[in-house]
Amino acid sequence: MKYKKTLLSAAIVTSLGLAAQAVAQEAPATADEAKQLDTITVVGIRGSIEKALDVKRDAKSHVEVVTAEDIGKLPAKNVADTLRELPGVTISSSSASEGGFDEADRVSMRGTSPGLTQTLVNGHNIGTGDWFVLSQVQTVGRSVSFSLLPSEIVDQVVVHKSSEAKLVEGGATGSVDIITRRPLQYADNFTASAALGAVHADLPGKTDPQLSALLNWKNDAGNFGVMVQAFSEERHLRRDGQEVVGGYGAATVDGQNVLYPNLLGAVLFEQERKRTGGVLDIEFKASDDLTLDLNAFTSKLKADNYNRNFMLWGSQFIGSQAPTAYTIDNGVLTSASWTADPESAVPYGVYDMISRPGAKSSSNYVALSADWQAGDSLGFKFQAGTSKGKGSSPTQDVLETGLIPTGGTLGWQMHGIGEAIDWSLGEGNAATNHHPEFGWIFGGQGIDVEDKEDWFAADGEYGFVDGALASLDFGVRYAEHERRNDFEIAQGPNWATAWNDIASYAGYASGAGHYPGDFASGLDGSFPGGIWYYTPEQLAAINAEFANRNNPERFYFSDVYGVKEKNSAAYVQANFEGDNWSGNVGLRYVKTDSDIRYNQALPVASGIPGAITGSAFGDYLPVTVNNDYAKLLPSANLKFNLGDDVVARFAASRTMTRPDYSALAGSLSLDDLTHTGSGGNPNLRPLVSTNFDASLEWYFAPRALLAASVYSMQLDDYVGFGNATIQYKDQAASHETGTDVYSDYLVSVPVNTNGSVKGFELTYKQPIGENFGFDGNYTYADGETANGGPLNGTSKNTYNLSGWFENETFSARVTYSFREAFYAGVSRTDAFYEDDFGTVSASFNYKATDWLTVSLDGLNLNDPVKSYYTSSAAGVLPYAMYSNGRQYYLNLRFKF
């Protein structure tokens, strides 16, 4: 009996993941056919487009697909860069409020935040880490850092826009499945490839090595194979920026109430990144009915960085010292100037120097799977694995000083959104004019955040020969996921060594470096020049002498948290097929048992039982809260072949995303007298999205597509921020009465609200003649919360335009990507938005011989500026802007 669409054959043709199986359901019926499809052919742009469109067309649900153009090569430097060109997909280069960098780091879908898009590797979750300290301890979302995922590991990426019951839950708005290679899919017994190259970043003016290699071997019988990949990639980053760190303060100038830019700074960020890691895959086809696979991955990112911010400290003197000239526009002090007084009792400026040696992140997993064809009509897949990610900030060497200029004029001139603020900070900017008594020593130490998941899954498929019911999928999955940070020291000045006398310290007399002479040239503004700084080594010596890092005195309990989840799931899915149509209907049941631990701040010497004392930040009480819930997630997909070249799809589903870790486990501060407070909310419910999707695809020529889709997502229990009345244990009253007393508190915390997104997508792909082609797509997204506020990540208009050329020896592709402004979150107390952003990238490849290809890739070729703004009653106001420069990658790719 011939079994249609077996689980085993689908797994062999594609990869380990259940998501991959959902795409590859048209698997071959015989081993010979499977072997033919398992053969990888080195193809160029045209072959890559054709392969991706074939997978998209044959899929039973709405997907987008990206395939590698060549072994070990994609037209981007990490997976997120590649996904940028897909309709409905948007990327960002930051995850907290650190501002944008030159490399894509987060992926989101259809006008939502990255936390609502699930990222899988071969169908399973992956533990992730972040190198930036705020992403480690504050904005801790559910998204994955793509900085740890180089394009070299990828065979195929499948973006699921509609859901199926068999897909792992977690992506309310969609999921991205990164599929790696497997040894037995190669045609030859031995395959070897390597890439030797370099990257040049024009802003830092540095050139660094880029190395990767792949070895694949399988035996003559074709039933046992081993694949090993390795990569080592270094590069330097420099980011020139301007920030209004303190937001917009309020003051009275000449009797008028005005807003002004507080802590207006010139920011120089420098970093050296080194990403190393690899993939190991061992595949054994024990029999025609059983295939075993061991797949492992590791990626480590060393990310030492140094950030300097030289700032005009307006709140120290505005309102108390009258400006010599000023302009007020709609309640905003858009320009003002003062004459610096060298005898001033308060500083005019403040300077932060923050060095983070040892900053790093990592991600790894080990997965073991077994594909067993138990009978002609019954197949099983078993998978077990563990994954761990880490983000570490072992040290922050910091010095903050106040500046009193020797004279000159200080002030600013604003020019609106998207343009730098011209400003100055007087004369005499030297280390001897900086006063540490007006500053501080700060910075978290010993941070080591862990993100871990252990899982087991068993999936089955029973095939039917006759009738419309083609097969029945069913399965269970169990996972334990934990995100935790158990320690942090927040250093301060060491009063025991009289840190106010730091000016007499031998290493304080002068800085060893200065801002580059071309600093902020990409921002087209007037900035202070010749800004000095201490080297990281000097900062380390100053901190060793004057910083207090004593435990428990400087133990910072607010950033210590833990979320542990036990996630169970079971599903059943019926797959149907008839003449010119197919579809599936399924139901997934998900149960989550979570323990959330955080620290509640208490009044000093409260006497409350269990209170921990000794921290300079106050007394605190460790609290653990249980938050358990269960959800039913139905889904349905229908596909109609309306002729030889036209496909129509309809889908409906409910999907879910668990709340962000930072929202659940934020430190809680309660006032037992006023019954008010602020912090996290461990009782948040998961976001459940009700989704509708319809699309029409016309494959009007080989490698050609004209498609349109519409979508709607109703986001129930979307997590926003607001005031809520929540019952907490009244610690003071409980201590006084000797019994547990619970009271209602009005608290400012993350809260469940509702939201919605609706929109449409257009896609056009067409070859032009034999050698040219054009790709273009456009996405419209309209999203808002229930109270009419903005949804995080919603860009109304996004589009991509790409043109390419290819012949037997040369290929070229040029792409322009545009994303409209979107709400990006809260920094300090201000909501901020990222402004419109467009970037140009290009890739050129020359096939010198059958075994050597030379490639040149350019990213950010238009030298784009990332700009941010805040919104207030006075209108939109500039918040930050950054220039990262261009990057060029030259590689020699060898095949043996």
Each residue of 621-641: pLDDT tens digit? 999 999 999 999 999 999 999
Q: What is the pLDDT of residue 676?
A: 83
Q: What is the pLDDT of residue 35?
A: 32
pLDDT at 126 over 70: yes
Q: What is the pLDDT of residue 237?
A: 96
Q: DSSP assignment of 721-779, as one string?
A: EEEEEEEEE-HHHHHHHSS--EEEEEEEEEEEEEEEEEEEEEEEEEEETTTEEEEEEEE
**344 to 311, 325, 348, 518: CA distances (angstroms):** 17, 19, 8, 32
pLDDT at 868 over 60: yes
Average pLDDT over residues 95-103: 80
Q: Which amino acid is at 251?
A: A
Strand-pair category, 224-244 with 248-253: unpaired
> What is the distance between the alpha carbons of residues 871 and 204, in angstroms, rounded to a whole number?
33
Average pLDDT over residues 301-327: 94
pLDDT at 111 over 70: yes
pLDDT tens digits, one per residue of 545-587: 899 999 999 999 999 999 999 999 999 999 999 999 999 999 9
Q: How confident is the model at residue 119 (pLDDT cuts 50, 70, 90)?
A: very high
H/E/C letters for each residue in 289-357? CEEEEEEEEEEEEEEEEEEEEEEECHHHCECCECCCEEEEECCEEEEEEEECCCCCCCCCEEEEEEEEC
pLDDT at 667 over 60: yes
Q: How confident is the model at residue 127 (pLDDT cuts 50, 70, 90)?
A: very high
pLDDT tens digits, one per residue of 444-503: 999 999 999 999 999 999 999 989 999 999 999 999 999 999 999 999 988 666 566 666
Q: What is the pLDDT of residue 4?
A: 35
pLDDT tens digits, one per residue of 770-815: 999 999 999 999 999 998 889 999 999 999 999 999 999 999 999 9
The separation between CA 829 and the C-alpha centre of its own chain, rounded to angstroms, equals: 22
Q: Which of helix, strand or coil describes residue 147?
A: helix
Percentage of the chain exceeding pLDDT 70? 92
Q: What is the pLDDT of residue 507?
A: 60
Q: Closest Cα partner for 82 from 95, 69, 94, 63?
A: 69
Highest mean pLDDT among 149-158, 216-225, 424-433: 216-225
Average pLDDT over residues 860-883: 91
pLDDT at 9 over 60: no
Q: What is the pLDDT of residue 3?
A: 36
Could you tell me which residue, 75 or 792, shows the higher pLDDT? Answer: 792
Contacts of 880 (CB under 8 A, 6+ apart): 99, 241, 242, 243, 244, 832, 867, 868
Average pLDDT over residues 527-556: 92
pLDDT tens digits, one per residue of 264-273: 999 999 999 9
- Give this prediction's pTM: 0.91
Q: How confident is the model at residue 87 (pLDDT cuts 50, 70, 90)?
A: very high
Exposed, middle or buried: residue 744 (CB in 10 Å: 0-12, 13-18, 19+)?
Answer: exposed
pLDDT at 73 over 50: no
pLDDT at 14 over 50: no
Q: What is the pLDDT of residue 58?
A: 93
Contacts of 24 (CB under 8 A, 6+ apart): 10, 13, 14, 55, 58
Could you tell me which residue, 103 or 800, shows the higher pLDDT? Answer: 800
Q: What is the pLDDT of residue 436?
A: 84
The tokens describing 459, both together, are 């999936």
> What is the distance between the alpha carbons of residues 638 and 584, in angstroms, rounded to a whole number?
7
Strand-pair category, 742-768 with 676-678: parallel
Average pLDDT over residues 152-164: 93
Q: Are 619 and 602 in contact (CB under 8 A)?
A: yes
Q: Which amino acid is at 7?
A: L
Q: What is the pLDDT of residue 49?
A: 86
Q: What is the pLDDT of residue 27?
A: 34
> What is the distance between the alpha carbons of residues 420 and 139, in angstroms, rounded to a whole number?
27
pLDDT at 16 over 60: no
**708 to 62, 192, 286, 404, 568: CA distances (angstroms):** 12, 41, 45, 61, 36
Strand-pair category, 646-657 with 676-678: unpaired
Percentage of the chain exceeding pLDDT 90? 71
Please provide the average confidence, as pLDDT, over all residues in the chain.
Answer: 89
Q: What is the pLDDT of residue 29?
A: 32
Q: Which fold has domain 7-452+491-895?
A: Maltoporin; Chain A (2.40.170)
**24 to 259, 306, 886: CA distances (angstroms):** 58, 47, 38
Average pLDDT over residues 54-66: 93
Q: How confident is the model at residue 829 (pLDDT cuts 50, 70, 90)?
A: low
Q: What is the pLDDT of residue 896?
A: 87
> What is the distance between the alpha carbons of residues 87 and 90, in angstroms, rounded to a whole number?
8
Q: What is the pLDDT of residue 28?
A: 32
> What is the distance between the alpha carbons of residues 840 and 88, in angstroms, rounded to a whole number?
19
pLDDT at 762 over 70: yes
**How many residues appear in the chain?**
896
Q: What is the pLDDT of residue 7?
A: 32
Q: What are phi and psi of 870, to 5 degrees?
A: -110, 160
Which range (26-30, 90-94, 274-278, 477-481) has the least confidence?
26-30
